[in-house]
């Protein structure tokens, strides 16, 4: 069994990561580092884990673990790695945005690889350091990859996506407070969301000379978890050709499924799946994409990347049932 460590254990993504690692047949969770919770039982913070483990948070790291997960706030992962030394054999998976862009990926003589398995699975298998994609970026990129790979993106892309309250993290603010969020709906960071940069990077990687604008409107929904993204752009071809393009592209994907029926969030919440639905309206193609922002959009994808890096079957520890009822 490989030994795993987690840095930053109190947030939503860390809680899901702990849950997944405790139930992974090939992993022993060696330590969970949290200076603010050192000595406390993990179930004191993540109450869904009551009875699952006697593990406590620690303020000491084991530098020789096989894999290290960074669940720190954006901008803090690089500083932590600069202040702490780990074995040259330790593989690192960062869940922040510190290393997702090409300009930030070189670190201490190694390169972070962008960890979207449907984009570059073979590269991930040989990687030592992984930059786990953002949640919005995952849902949106999975809706665009087949078109980009076929050089079919030639016009402006319009995106409207809504995320649940857990996408904002555990820290309370005016827009995460229950009385504000309940029975409410709002947009934020319109046309300027930080995930746009990694989306643009991937599109340019696959679709040479893509210059049109990607217009993205993120929204806050009054539910806890999940992302529902709707994307449309001009497409030359029939609906049948578009659906075939998507199904051919994802024919070997373990977690990304092209549905013949319209999709809804209850199909993916608590799973590592991405469901896609493709329609043609006059000269436009409409793609809807849904994920669980904490799993396929964060911790589940991190485990998927770990499985690839260590040669485990890709879905190990991730065969989860949706909370449909």
Q: How high is the pLDDT of residue 179? A: 83
| Topology match between the domains 2-132+298-309 and 135-291 | no
pLDDT tier at 36, thresholds 50, 70, 90: confident
Which of 262, 297, 293 shows the shortest CA–CA distance to 277?
262
Rounded to whole angstroms, the Cα distance separating 231 from 285 reads 8
Q: How high is the pLDDT of residue 62? A: 97
Q: How high is the pLDDT of residue 156? A: 97
pLDDT tier at 273, thresholds 50, 70, 90: very high
Q: How high is the pLDDT of residue 211? A: 87
What is the homologous superfamily of the domain 135-291 according to CATH? Dihydrodipicolinate Reductase; domain 2 (3.30.360.10)
Q: How high is the pLDDT of residue 138? A: 98
Could you identify the residue written with the tokens 């991190």? 302
Class of domain 2-132+298-309: alpha beta
Helices (H), 9-134: 12-22, 42-45, 77-83, 117-125
pLDDT tier at 323, thresholds 50, 70, 90: confident
Residue tagged active-site, from 95, 119, 135, 140: 135
Average pLDDT over residues 154-179: 86
For the cut 80, the answer to whether the pLDDT of residue 321 exceeds it is: yes
- 122-166: per-residue pLDDT in tens? 999 999 999 999 999 999 999 999 999 999 999 999 999 999 998
Q: How many CA atoms lie within 13 A of 48 on its CB side?
A: 10
pLDDT tier at 172, thresholds 50, 70, 90: low
> Residue 215 in contact with residue 156, Cβ under 8 Å?
yes
Q: How high is the pLDDT of residue 324? A: 85
Q: Known catalytic residue: 71?
A: no
Q: How high is the pLDDT of residue 229? A: 98
For the cut 70, the answer to whether the pLDDT of residue 173 exceeds it is: yes
> Residue 161 in contact with residue 221, Cβ under 8 Å?
no
- 181-237: per-residue pLDDT in tens? 899 999 999 999 999 999 999 999 999 878 899 999 999 999 999 999 999 999 999
Q: How high is the pLDDT of residue 4? A: 98
For the cut 70, the answer to whether the pLDDT of residue 170 exceeds it is: no
Q: How high is the pLDDT of residue 33? A: 96
Domain ranges of the chain: 2-132+298-309, 135-291
């Amino acid at each position: 069994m490989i030994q795993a460590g987690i840095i930053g254990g109190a947030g939503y993504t860390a809680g899901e990561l702990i849950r997944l690692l405790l139930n992974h047949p090939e992993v022993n969770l060696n330590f969970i580092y949290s200076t603010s919770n050192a000595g406390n039982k993990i179930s004191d913070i993540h109450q869904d884990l009551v009875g699952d483990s006697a593990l406590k948070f620690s303020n000491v790291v084991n530098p020789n673990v096989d894999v290290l997960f960074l669940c720190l706030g954006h901008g803090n992962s690089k500083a932590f790695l600069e202040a702490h030394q780990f074995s040259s054999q330790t593989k690192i998976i960062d869940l922040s945005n510190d290393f997702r862009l090409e300009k930030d990926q070189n670190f201490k003589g190694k390169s972070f690889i962008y960890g979207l398995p449907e984009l570059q699975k073979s590269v991930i298998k040989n990687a030592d350091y992984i930059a786990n994609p953002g949640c919005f970026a995952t849902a949106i990129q999975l809706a665009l990859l087949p078109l980009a790979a076929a050089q079919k993106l030639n016009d402006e892309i319009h995106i409207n996506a809504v995320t649940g309250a857990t996408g904002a993290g555990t820290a309370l603010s005016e827009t995460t407070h229950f009385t504000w969020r309940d029975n409410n709906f709002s947009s934020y960071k319109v046309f300027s969301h930080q995930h746009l940069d990694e989306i643009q990077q991937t599109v340019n990687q696959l679709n040479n000379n893509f210059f049109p604008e990607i217009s993205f409107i993120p929204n806050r929904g009054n539910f806890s978890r999940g992302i529902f993204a709707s994307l449309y752009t001009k497409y030359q071809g029939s609906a049948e050709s578009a659906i075939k393009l998507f199904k051919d592209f994802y024919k070997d994907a373990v977690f990304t499924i092209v549905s013949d029926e319209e999709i809804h969030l209850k199909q993916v919440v608590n799973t590592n799946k991405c469901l896609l639905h493709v329609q043609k309206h006059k000269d436009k193609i409409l793609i809807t994409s849904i994920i669980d922002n904490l799993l396929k959009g964060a911790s589940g994808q991190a485990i998927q990347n770990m499985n690839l890096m260590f040669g485990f079957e890709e879905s190990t520890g991730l065969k989860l049932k949706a909370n449909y009822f």
